[in-house]
Structure 1
Amino acid sequence: MHNNKNIDMRKESDDIKGQQQNINLMAGPSCSELEFVDAREASPDVVEELIIGRTAEKGKIIASLLDGMSEKIIILPIYGIGGIGKTTFARLIYNDPNFKCYSHVWVHVSQIFDLNKIREYVISQLSGKESQAIERQIIHSCLTELLSGKILVDLDDLWEEDQFHLQELKDMLYHADSSIIILVTTRSERVARRICTNLQPYKILPLTNDICWDIIKQRSSFESRNDKRQLMDIGREIAKKCRGVALAAQSLGFTLRSMNIDQWIKVKESGIWNEPISDYASLPNHVLASLKLSYSHMDASLKPCFTFCAIFPKGHKIVKDDLIYQWISLDFIKPSNMLSNLQLGEKYIGQLLGLSFFQHSVPTFKANLHILQL
C-alpha cells in the first residue's frame, strides 16, 4: 500500500515538474548558502518583537475590543489585499495578554466555505479531541457546552459572501452563556461588511516605505553586513517596490541576505516589477513579482521540494516531518558529506519559512507535532 502511495505521488510530482519547466521565471544566481532559520525566529505565537509596524494599530483595536466587553458577541472583520499582513495582525491580537483568560480557537476557513468543518475545528480545539470522536447526534449539545465562558475565535481567510451562510456561522457561534470575540480576516470588503455586527470593519493599510525597509533589513541580517553603507540606497529603492506589502518585504529580505551588491542592484533594476501578472488576480502584481524573484533565486535543490507542495491546497496544514519524508521518498533530497537527508530537509523547511512560502500553523490539540501551513 505504501509503495502504491509513493507511485501516485511520483506521478503527481512528474506532472508538477513538467509545469515547473513551463514557468517563465528570470534566471538568477543560486542561493545555496542560505542560512537555516531557527524555528524560534518564526514562532507560531508571532513573537511581537519580530513584528515591525502595526503597534499603534494593534493598541487601538485592543482598546475597541475591551470597550465592547459588555456585548455577548463581538465581531471584528479585518480586511485588505493579499500579503498586506492581515493574518499576522490578527495573531498579535489573538496572543495579546489581555485575552489570556479566554479559550482560543483558530480556524482557517479558505475559499471553500464548509460550516460543518468549521464546527469540527471549533469542537476539536475547545475539547482537545479529534472531532471525529464525537457522536454526530450530540454534536450540537457538545458545542453549546464548549462555547461557554470567554472564547476568542479567529476565522482566518473568509471568502463567503452569501448572507444566509454568514448568518448561520454567527448563529452557530452565539450562545447565551458565553462572551465571544470573533476576529475575521478577509480580502473582501464586501465580506467584511456583511459579517460585521457591532464593530466597523478594520482595513489594513499599506506599510510605509521606511517600515518595508526595516523589514528587509531584519530579514536580510543587514546590520551584520560589512557592505551595508553601499547597500543602503539600493535597499531603500527595493523597499519602495514592495508598495507597503509586508509579504513582499519579508520574502525579498530573506532572498537578499545571501546576495552581494551586484545582485542587489539586479533585483532593484529587474524588469519583473513592470510585468503584468494577470493570471494571479488574487494577489497584487508587486507581491507576485517579489515572490517570483525569490523563487528564481532559490537554490536548484530546493525548487522541486517547494514545487511538490503545489499538490496541497492553499492553507493546507502539513506535519513537517511527514513532508520531509515525502521529499526523501521522491528523491528530492540528496544527502551531502556534511548533512543527512533529515538535516537537509530541516534546512529546506527553514529556507521556505524564511521566504514566507510556509508559515507555522497556530498550535492546536496536536501540540506534539510540528505543523506547517501553506
Structure 2
Amino acid sequence: MGENYCVLDKLNHLMISNACNLTEDQIDHIDSFYHRLRFLAIILNDMDEKQQQQQQQHDLNHEAKNLPMQIYYVICKTRQLIRSFDVEVPEQRDNNNNGDNFFDILIGTNIMEEIKPIEAKVVQFYDQINQIQLLQDFYDGVHSSMSMSMSMENRTMVDEEITVGFDDEALTIKKLLAGGKKQLQMISIVGMPGHGKTTLARKLYDDPYITHYFHIRAWTYASQLPRKTEMLLDILHSVTVDEIENMTNEELGEKLYKQLKGKRYLIVIDDLWHISAWVDLKMYFPNDNNGSRVMFTSRLKEVAMHASPKCHPHCLRFLTEEESWELLERKVFQNESCPLELIKIGKQIMKKCEGLPLAIVVIAGLLARNMKTRESWKQVAQSVSSYIVSDPNQYLDTLVLSYNHLPRHLKPCFLYLGAFPQDHEIPVQKLICLWIAEGFIQKIGQRSLEEVAEDYLMDLIQRSLVIVAQKGFDGRIKACRMHDLLRDLCLKKASEINFLQWIHNYNDSSPSSSSNYETNNQRRLCIRSYFLLEFDHVLKSCSPAVVQSLLCFKNKFERKIRNAGNPFGDVCSFICWTFKLLRVLDMWYISTFFSKELTQLVNLRYLAINLNDSCELPQSISNLSNLETLIIISTQWRKLILPCNVWKIPKLRHLYAKGRAKYDVSLCSEEAVVDHNHPSILENLRTIANFNPCGCIQDLLARTPYLTKLGICGHLLSDSENLMFPNLEFLRHLETLKLHNNVLCRYPITLGEVKFPANIKRLTLKSTRLKWEEMSVLGMLLPSLELLKLEYNAAWGTQWATTDGGFPRLKFLRLRSLNVEQWITCSSHFPSLQHLSLEGCRNLREIPSSLGDILTLQLIEVTFCHFSVRESVRKIKEEQESIGNNWLKVLIRKQPWGL
C-alpha cells in the first residue's frame, strides 16, 4: 500500500514541471484532483483497522466494507496514468503542447469523475462509525490547500489562511525562487496593509517544493523599528542550535555568513519599512551562485525598488469581484454555498471591501459567527465603509465593525492582545494564564478555565482577528499573532476605554500625548523594561490607584546587556509601593530582587519574576492568597529555594520554577502534612514544574488530584538501580510528564515498579539511562502516548530493537544526545509517526529505511549526527521521491566540524 500511496505525489511534481504549459483552469483541475485523491489514500491507510474494531460492536453495511477496494482501485489507476505519462509520451516532451498532452491523458481516464461517489461514501462511512476525530488526526498533517467535502461543525481544527486570486502571482514568484539565475536575487512583494503580502509569502515559504529545494529557510520581521540584533537572532535560530544569545552584532553577522556559506538558502524579511534594515543585513548573505534568494514584503514600493533595483517588485493587485465573492463565501460558509436569499446583500458587502483581502476576511469572520440572517447582513451592509482603500481611517472604521459585534466576553480578550509588542509571537499558554488572571474567563459547567479560554481563542481565530503562528505536534495552537492593522485597532479601542496603554518612550509617558482621552487612567501598562529606570516618567503616565496590570517587555539585545548586572536597583520596591492594586505583574525580563513588599500585593493573580543569585523568597509569600500563576526563574550560580509556604496559596493553578529555582520539600514532613494552615486538597493546581522528588512528596501529590502537567527533577534512582519516583497512577488527569534524573549512574537501569497514569500523552525523559528494552515496555504501559522525547542519555545501550504494539499513537519522536549505534525497527512499529527528530546522536550510523514507508511521516530532522546518518536520510528521501512521494520533508544540519 505504501508504494501506491506514495506514487500519488508525483502528480504534484508533474504539475509543477508542466505548469508553464497549462492554463489556470487546468492547474486548478489537476490540483483539486491531487488533493482529493490524497485524502482518500489517507483514509485507506487506517480503514481496515478501524473496520475491524467497529466490527466487534456492530456490522457495517456492504458499501462500507467495500470502500477500501474502491479507493485502492482509483489509486492504482492513477499510478497507471502516471506511468503512461512517463513511458508513452516521452517523444512529445520537447513540444510546446506537453502540458496539453499531460492534461488530455488525465482527463481521458475519467478518474476525476470516479472519485466523486467514492468521496461521498467515505464521508458517509465515517459519519456512520463516528470516526470524525480520526479524520482530523490525519488531516492536521496534510497540506493546507487540501479540500474535503465534509462538515467542519464537529471538528476542533484551525483552518490555514485562505488565499484567493493570487495563484498567478504565486506561480510567477515560485518560478523565480526555484529557477532563473543562479546568482543571489532579491524578490519583493509590495502592497498596502491587509493586501495579503505576508499570507502570500508564507504560502510560498511553506510550499512543499520550496522547502525541499532550499537547504536553509529562515523568516524574520522588520517592522517600523528595525532591530538588527533581533533579526539576526531570528535567522540564526533557524540555521543553528549553537548558543548565540551573548554574541555581539558583529559576531552574529559573522556566524550567519558562515552558516549560509555554500548553502542554497531562502531568507524572508517580512514588513520592511526602512532600507536601513536591509543595508544592515545584506552583507551577511553570501552570493555563491547556487540559486539562493532573499524575499521581502513591504508596503512601500520605493523601499522595494531601492533594496532590489534590478528586480521589479511584485505589486499585488486588488481582488476582482469574482475573487472577492469567492473569498467571502469560503470564509463564511466553508465548503457550502451561500443561501440564495443572502447572495445579493453579500455581494453588496463584498463590493464595499473593494478587493482588499483583510477587509473581506474580517467582515467574513463577523458574518460567519451567528449572523447568517438577512436582517443582520443588512445591518453590516449599511455599516461597511466603501472608501477603505482610499482612506485608512475609514478602513480602520470598517475593522471596528468586527470589534463592535464581538460578544461581551470576547472584547477584553481581543483588546488584551494589544499588550504584546508588534510582530510578537504570543505564547498561548502565557496568554491564557493572563486572561484568567485578569478575570476575563468564567467557568462554564465542568470545563476548566483553561479549556474555556482555548475556546475563546479559537473563536477569535475563526473570526479572523487572530493568526495562528505555531502549532504543536497534535495540531493545538502553541503561539499566535496579530495583523498590524488589527493591533492598531486594539490599541486605539483600548486607549479610548482606558483599557491599556503602551509606553515606549518619554512622549508616551506624558499625559499630554493624547487629547482624546485620559492617559493617566489606564488600567494596564505595557512598558519597555529599560524605561523603568526612570521611575518619575513612569509615574507621569498613569494614576497608580487604577493600574491593575504591569507588563514589562524587552528586546533580546537589551536583555543581554541588562542582565549582566542589576541596573534596576529597587525597581521591585518601587513597583510595589506605587501600584498597590496590581493583579498582574510580569517582570520576566528584569533581573531583580524579591522585595518583601511584593507579599503585600494581595490582589496579585499572576506573578512572573527573574531573581538574581542573592535573593530568597520569604515565607510570607503565602499572603498572596489570590495568586493563580507563579513563575520564578533563577539563572545564577546559587540554587534558589522556594519556601514551603507556596503550598498554602489556595488558588494556585500553575507553579513554574525554572533554571536553578527549586521547591522546599519540608512540606513533605509529617509536621507539615498535618498543619491545618495547608489546604487539604489543592484542587486548583494544574501545573508543577521542576519538582524535586526527595522526601515524602507522595503526600503532597495525593493532594493534587487534578494535575495535568508535572515536571520532576532530582534523584530518580533507587539503591537497586531502578527508576524511582513517586507513584503517579492516581493522577488520572495527568497528560504531560517530564522526568529529569540529575544523579550519575554507571550502569543502565530498569523501570522497576514505577507506575504511570495510563492517560499520559506527552513524556520527556532526560538522563534516566533506561535500557533500550525498557522502551518497548514503556510504550505498552502508555497506550495514549503521542509525544516521546529521549534526551541526554535518557536511554542507554548500543542497540534499539523495537517491537510491535509499543507506540500505537506516537506522533512525535525525538532522540537527542544518546549513545545508540544501531536502530532496528519497521514502519508497523510506529504506525502514527509524523515527526522524527535526531540531534547529537553521534554514534548512530543510519536511520532504518523502513521508516520511509510510514504513511503518516511528514518530517525527518537530523542535527549534528554522523554523515552516514545524513546519507541514510537522503537515501530515504530519494527512494520516496522515486515513487512519487514528494511529501516527506528532510531537514539536515551538519556539525561544525563537518562529520
Secondary structure, in 3 states, of the residue corresponding to 2:159? Answer: helix
Q: Tell me which moved more, 98-107 or 242-251.
A: 98-107
Q: Would you say 1:293 and 2:401 are equivalent positions?
A: yes
1:241 to 321, 333, 352: 352
2:349, 2:381 within 8 Å by CA — same for their partners in 1?
yes
Whether the 8 Å contact between 1:251 and 1:355 is mirrored in structure 2 is: yes
Higher relative contact order (CA 8 A, sep 6+): 1
What TM-score, normalized by structure 1, do the two folds share? Answer: 0.78
Find the counterpart in structure 1 of residue 382 from structure 2. Answer: 269
Q: How does 1:313-328 map to 2 (within 5 A)?
A: 313-328=421-436
2:272 aligns with 158
Counterpart selection for 1:63 from 165, 175, 184: 175
Contact 2:388/2:398, CA 8 A, preserved across alignment: no
How far is 1:101 from its partner? 3.2
Q: Which residue of 1 aligns with 2:542?
A: none
1:358 corresponds to which of 456, 461, 466: 466
CA distance in 2, matches of 1:108, 1:143: 17
Alpha-carbon spacing, 1:203–1:115, altered in 2? closer, same or farther (3 Å): same
Closer, same or farther in 2 for the Cα pair 1:275/1:262, shift >3 Å?
same
Counterpart check, 1:122 vs 2:228: no
Aligned partner of 1:41 in structure 2 is 159
For residue 168 of structure 1, what is the aligned residue in structure 2? 280
Distance 2:274 2:163 in 1: 29
Match of 1:214 in 2: 326
> SS at the partner of 1:183?
strand
One of 453, 469, 488 as aligned partner of 1:345 = 453
Q: 1:36, 1:350 within 8 Å by CA — same for their partners in 2?
A: no
**Matched residue type, 1:220:** V
Change (3 A) 1:285 1:189: same
Match of 1:251 among 347, 362, 370: 362
Structure with higher strand content: 2
Offset from partner CA, 1:94-136 (integer Å, 9 cap, x none): 1223322311101011111122221111111111456316687
| DSSP 3-state at the match of 1:126 | coil
Change (3 A) 1:222 1:122: closer
Q: Do structure 1's residue 147 and structure 2's residue 260 form an aligned pair? A: yes
Alpha-carbon contact 1:106-1:362 (below 8 Å) kept: no
How much has 1:275 moved relative to structure 2? Answer: 8.2
Partner-residue secondary structure (3-state), 2:245: helix
Number of aligned positions between the proteins: 323
**Shift in alpha-carbon separation, 1:286–1:236, aligned structure 2, 3 A:** farther
**Alignment of structure 1 residues 74-85 onto 2, 5 Å:** 74-85=185-196
Q: Identity rate of aligned residues, in percent?
A: 25
Deviations 1:150-193 (A, max 9, x none): 1111100110144xx53332112235486421111011111111
What does residue 90 of structure 1 align with?
201
Note the C-alpha offset of 1:345. Answer: 1.1
- Write the letter of the residue equivalent to 2:428: K
Contact 2:387 / 2:394 at 8 angstroms: preserved in 1? no
Q: Is the 8 A contact 2:191 2:300 kept in 1?
A: yes
Matched, 1:53 2:165: yes
d(CA) in 1 for partners of 2:453 and 2:155?
12
Contact 1:238/1:268 (<8 A) preserved: yes
Asked if 2 retains the 8 angstrom alpha-carbon contact of 1:324 and 1:342, the reply is yes
1:336 aligned onto 2:427? no
Corresponding letter in the other structure for 1:231: L
Deviation at 1:326, TM superposition (A): 0.6
Unaligned runs of 5+ in 1: 1-34
CA deviation after TM superposition for structure 1 residue 138, in Å? 4.5
Could you tell me which amino acid in structure 2 is paired with residue 109 of structure 1? A
Quote the offset at 1:228 in angstroms.
0.7
Deviation of 1:236 after TM superposition, in Å, equals: 0.8
Distance (whole Å) between structure 2 residues aligned to residue 305 and residue 188 of structure 1: 32
Change (3 A) 1:217 1:133: same
Aligned residue runs from structure 1 range 163-202, under 5 A: 165-176=277-288, 179-202=291-314
Deviations, residues 231-270 of structure 1 (Å, cap 9, x unaligned): 0111111111111111111111121112121000110112
Q: 2:342 is matched with which residue?
A: 231
Q: TM-score, normalised by structure 2?
A: 0.34
In structure 2, relative to structure 1, the CA distance for the partners of 1:341 and 1:221 (3 Å cut) is same
Cα deviation, residue 36, structure 1: 9.6
Counterpart CA distance in 1 for 2:395 and 2:388 is: 12
Distance 1:40 1:306, change over 3 A: closer
C-alpha deviation, 1:77, in angstroms:
1.1
- Judge conservation of contact 2:178–2:213 (CA < 8 Å) in 1: no
Residues 349, 256 of structure 1: alpha-carbon distance in 2 compared, 3 angstrom cutoff: same
Rounded to whole Å, the distance in 2 between the matches of 1:329 and 1:158 is 36
Question: How far has the Cα of 1:68 moved from its partner?
Answer: 2.8
Residue type of the alignment partner of 2:270: D
Q: Residue type of the partner of 2:224?
A: Q
Query: What CA deviation, in whole Å up to 9, does each residue of 1:323-353 have, x standing for no partner?
Result: 0111001111111126331122111111222
Change (3 A) 1:235 1:131: farther
Give 1:289 deviation, angstroms. Answer: 3.3
CA distance in 2, matches of 1:36, 1:158: 40
Structure 2 counterpart of 1:239, which letter?
A: M
| Equivalent residue number for residue 69 of structure 2 | none
Q: Return the index of the structure with the highest Cα Rg.
A: 2
Residue 137 (structure 1) shift: 7.2
Whole-angstrom CA distance in 2 between matches of 1:299 and 1:170: 47
- Quote the Cα distance in structure 2 between the aligned partners of 1:310 and 1:371: 15
| CA distance in structure 2 between the aligned counterparts of 1:146 and 1:137, rounded to whole angstroms | 14
Match of 1:110 in 2: 223
Question: Corresponding residue for 2:245?
Answer: 132
Q: How far apart are the structure 1 equivalents of 2:226 and 2:331? A: 35
Moved more, 76-85 or 60-69: 60-69
In structure 2, stretches of 5+ residues that fail to align are 1-152, 483-899
CA contact (8 A) 1:74 1:197 kept: no
AA partner of residue 199 (structure 2): T
Q: CA RMSD in A?
A: 2.9
Counterparts in 2 of 1:335 and 1:191: CA distance versus 1, 3 Å: same
SS of alignment partner, residue 230 of structure 1: helix
Does the CA contact (< 8 Å) of 2:254 and 2:284 recur in 1? Answer: no
8 Å contact 2:182–2:289 — kept in the other structure? no
Are the structure 2 counterparts of residues 249 and 38 from structure 1 closer, same or farther at C-alpha, using a change threshold of 3 Å? farther
Cα distance in 2, alignment partners of residues 137 and 172 from structure 1: 10
Quick one: distance in 2 between partners of 1:254 and 1:36? 18
Deviation at 1:223, TM superposition (A): 5.8
Quick one: structure 1 residues 275 and 250, their matched pair in 2 at CA, closer, same or farther if it must change by over 3 Å? closer
Segment drifting more, 295-304 vs 137-146: 137-146
Partners of 2:343 and 2:454 lie apart in 1 by: 32
Q: For the Cα contact (< 8 Å) 1:104–1:152, is it kept in 2?
A: yes
Measured after TM superposition, the shift of residue 286 of structure 1 is 5.2
